[in-house]
Chains A and B, each alone.
Chain A
Amino acid sequence: MTTTTPRRSGGLGRVLIAVYGLLALAATGRSVYQILSEFDHAPLAYSLSALAGVVYIVATIALLAPGDTWYRVAWVTISFELVGVLVVGLLSVLDPILFTEKAVWSFFGRGYAFVPLVLPILGMLWLYRHRPRPTTADAPTVAPAGTV
Chain B
Amino acid sequence: MIEWFTLVQVAVACAAGLLCVVLGLAGRTPADITNGATALVEVLLIGQLVVAIVAPLTGNAPTGSSLEFWVYLVTALLLPVLAIFWGLVERNRWSTVILGVACFAVAVMVFRMHQIWFVQLA
Contact B94 A14 (CB under 8 A): yes
Contact B105 A14 (CB under 8 A): no
User: How near does chain B come to A80, taking the closest CB pair, in angstroms?
Assistant: 23
Interface residues of B in 70-122 (CB under 8 A from A): 71, 75, 79, 83, 86, 90, 92-95, 97-98, 101-102, 105, 108
How many A-B pairs have beta carbons closer than 8 Å: the answer is 34
* Distance, CA A15 to CA B94, complexed state (A): 6
Contact A14 B98 (CB under 8 A): yes
* Distance, CA A11 to CA B65, complexed state (A): 40
User: How near does chain B come to A96, taking the closest CB pair, in angstroms?
Assistant: 20
Contact pattern, A 30-74, Cβ under 8 Å of B = 1, otherwise 0: 000100010000000000000000000000000000000000000
Interface size class of B (residues with CB under 8 A): 10 to 19
Report which of A15, A29, A37, A148 forms a contact with B98, defined as CB distance below 8 A: A15
Contact A33 B94 (CB under 8 A): no
Q: Which residues of B contact A25 (CB under 8 A)?
A: 75
* Distance, CA A148 to CA B75, complexed state (A): 30
Majority SS of interface residues in chain B?
A: helix
Q: Which residues of A contact B102 (CB under 8 A)?
A: 18
Q: Which residues of B contact A14 (CB under 8 A)?
A: 90, 92, 94-95, 98
Q: Does A122 contact B (CB under 8 A)?
A: no
Q: Which residues of A contact B98 (CB under 8 A)?
A: 14-15, 18
Q: Which residues of A contact B105 (CB under 8 A)?
A: 22
Contact B67 A22 (CB under 8 A): no
Q: Does A83 contact B (CB under 8 A)?
A: no
Interface residues of A in 94-148 (CB under 8 A from B): 113, 148
User: How near does chain B come to A71, taking the closest CB pair, in angstroms?
Assistant: 21
* Distance, CA A22 to CA B107, complexed state (A): 13
Chain B contacts to A: CB under 8 angstroms: 65, 67-68, 71, 75, 79, 83, 86, 90, 92-95, 97-98, 101-102, 105, 108
Chain A contacts to B: CB under 8 angstroms: 11-12, 14-15, 18-19, 22, 25, 29, 33, 37, 113, 148
